[in-house]
Structures are given as C-alpha cells and as structure tokens.
C-alpha cells in the first residue's frame, strides 16, 4: 500500500513538473503529490520507533509537516495565480516539486525493486569490508549483507548506503537551470563524496562496535549519535560547497524556508491570539 502511495506522489509531482506553466492546474497536481508524499513520511516513525532511532522519528515527522506546508501553498497558488513567485524571481514550489520528483525517481527504484536493493547493499557491504581489510582489521563477511568481527555482527541495510542523501543532491542539482560544467562540478562535489564518506561511517560503526569502544552500548553510541552527528556536519559542508558552485540553490532553499517560517509564524500568532 505505502509503495503505491509513493509512486502516485512521484507521478503527480512529475505531471506538475513537465506541464507547461500556463496551465495553472499543474499546481493542484503538485499539491496532491505533496499530500501523498506526506503520508509516506508520517508512516515512517513506526519503523524508527521499533529500532529506537528517535532522531529519525523527529526528522521524518518534520519532513511530513513540510510536505503539507508546500501542498497548502500550492493550493493557494492555484486559487490565486498572481501570488506565484511573489518576492522571488522563481517559482519556489514548482522548483521544489521538480527536485523532489527527480530525487524520488532515483531513490525509489533502489527502495522498491529487490534486485537494485540487493545490488546496492551488497556493493556497500563489499566496499566496507575492503576498507576494513585495508586497515588490517580481521573482519569477515558472514552473509551477503553482514560483516562480523570479534564475535560481533553488523547488518548493512538500505539506510547504510546513503542513498537518501545521494538522491536528495541529485534531485536538487538536476532541478537547477545552469551550465553543464557547473552542474557536473556540483555532482562531483557531492554524490561521490557522500558515497565515500558513508563507507567511512560504516567502517567506524563496525570497528567501534566490534572493539566495544564505548562499552555495552557501543553500537547505539557509534551509530545513533556519533555517526549521525558526523553525517550531519559532512552534509552541511557538502551542501555549502554545492551552493557555492550553484548559487541558484540558495534561492530555492531560502524560498522553502520562507514558506515554512511564514506558516509557523501564522500558527504561533493564532495560538497566542487564542490565549
């Protein structure tokens, strides 16, 4: 069921992206796409609560709320076409929709198609094992997606491949109208770097867990805390570099932030008024 919702959301966003701008009904298609997309994100906390990953619980709920804010804004833009792009030379919601559609088209096949899922996870597992051996650690592959060392085993899953972050940057970069050289430079500064850094992250988690660097809770501390903080810092730096190469992305991010902050201020004002 949730897989169907994902593909419906992507299809509606693509319709919005490819439909000529003179047809304002594309805003309704985009809005519907974001609503379906929010359903997907609001479904995710169930999984993360099961594995006690509360950081991602908060993250996916936040993403779901952002989806609804963009959907609401696109409905207003459909009703009042003149408000599109006010205060900015570009259509922020349409650009965000295109970026999301393109990123999703790259990500969802890996998430939903078994042969691609298995290939990607297997490749990351092999690359991680190779690095461990290069560092002279006695790790071994105990299954196609599991690495064992010192009696401890770590399973590599899709979330360990950084495919979400890679898809995000691909969508953002591909949605920008810029010279090919700039787009290529932004791609090289993000996608390969993210993949390599993610292999380093997986290596760190396995070593920290197998060597029990942080005691009985070594995996939780290494994976849920240190690795996530490190990944966040790395993605921030990569995003900064990409935006220096493609300053058009700054306008998109600023525009989305203004939409979110404006909505938050309205909600807070209503709450304050009710009190």
Q: What is the pLDDT of residues 10-59, one digit of tens each?
A: 999 999 988 888 888 999 999 999 999 999 889 888 878 887 777 788 88
Helix (H, G, I), strand (E, B) or coil at 228: helix
User: Taking a C-beta distance cutoff of 8 angstroms, is the pair 66, 99 a contact?
Assistant: no
81 has a pLDDT exceeding 80: no
Share of the chain above pLDDT 90, in %: 63
pLDDT at 87 over 80: no
Q: Is the pLDDT of residue 171 over 60?
A: yes
**What's the confidence (pLDDT) of residue 232?**
92
Residue 169 CA to residue 155 CA, distance in Å, equals 26
pLDDT band at 264 (very low <50, low <70, confident <90, very high): confident
Point out the least confidently predicted range of 58-62, 88-92, 199-203, 231-235: 88-92
Predicted local confidence at residue 135, as pLDDT: 97
For 120-149, the pLDDT digits (tens) are 999 999 999 999 999 999 999 999 999 999
Planar angle of CA 102, 108, 111, nearest 5 degrees? 155
Q: Is 87 left (phi over 0), alpha (psi -120 to 50) or beta?
A: left
Is 86 a residue whose pLDDT tops 50?
A: no
Least confident residue range of 29-38, 77-86, 261-270 = 77-86
C-alpha distances out from residue 144 to 8, 114, 123, 153, 210, Å: 32, 14, 10, 12, 19
> Mind listing the pLDDT tens digit for each residue in 174-222?
888 889 999 999 999 999 999 999 999 999 999 999 999 999 999 999 9
> How many alpha carbons lie under 13 Å from residue 59 in its C-beta half-sphere?
9
Predicted local confidence at residue 88, as pLDDT: 46
- Banded pLDDT at 84 (limits 50, 70, 90): low
Q: What is the largest CA-CA distance in the chain?
A: 64
| Number of other residues whose CB lies within 10 A of the CB of residue 151 | 6
- Mean pLDDT across the chain: 89
Q: Which residue has the tokens 């997986």?
A: 202
Question: φ, ψ for residue 139 (rounded to 5)?
Answer: -85, 155
Q: Are strands 152-155 and 146-149 parallel, antiparallel or unpaired?
A: antiparallel
- pLDDT confidence tier of residue 90, bands split at 50, 70 and 90: low
Q: Between helices 180-210 and 227-245, what is the axis angle to 10°?
A: 170
pTM of this prediction? Answer: 0.81
């Amino acid at each position: 069921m949730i897989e169907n919702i994902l593909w419906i959301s992507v299809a509606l966003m693509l319709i919005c992206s490819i439909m000529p701008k003179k047809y304002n009904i594309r805003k309704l298609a985009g809005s519907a796409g974001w609503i379906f997309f929010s359903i997907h994100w609001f479904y995710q906390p169930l999984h993360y609560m099961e594995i006690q990953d509360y950081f991602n619980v908060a993250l996916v709920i936040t993403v779901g709320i952002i989806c609804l804010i963009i959907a609401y804004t696109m409905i207003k833009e459909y009703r009042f076409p003149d408000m599109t792009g006010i205060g900015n030379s570009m259509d922020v919601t349409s650009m965000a929709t295109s970026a999301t559609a393109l990123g999703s088209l790259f990500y969802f096949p890996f998430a939903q198609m078994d042969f691609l899922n298995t290939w990607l996870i297997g490749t990351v597992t092999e690359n991680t094992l190779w690095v461990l051996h290069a560092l002279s650690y006695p790790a071994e592959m105990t299954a196609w997606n599991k690495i064992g060392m010192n009696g401890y085993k770590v399973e590599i899953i899709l979330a360990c491949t950084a495919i979400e972050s890679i898809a995000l940057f691909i969508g953002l970069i591909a949605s920008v109208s810029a010279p090919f050289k700039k787009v290529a430079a932004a791609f090289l500064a993000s996608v390969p770097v993210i993949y390599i850094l993610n292999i380093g992250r997986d290596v760190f988690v396995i070593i920290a867990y197998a060597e029990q660097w942080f005691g009985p809770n070594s995996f939780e501390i290494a994976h849920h805390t240190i690795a996530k903080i490190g990944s966040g810092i790395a993605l921030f730096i990569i995003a900064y570099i990409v935006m220096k190469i493609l300053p058009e992305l700054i306008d998109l991010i600023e525009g989305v932030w203004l939409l979110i902050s404006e909505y938050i201020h309205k909600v807070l004002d209503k709450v304050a008024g009710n009190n």
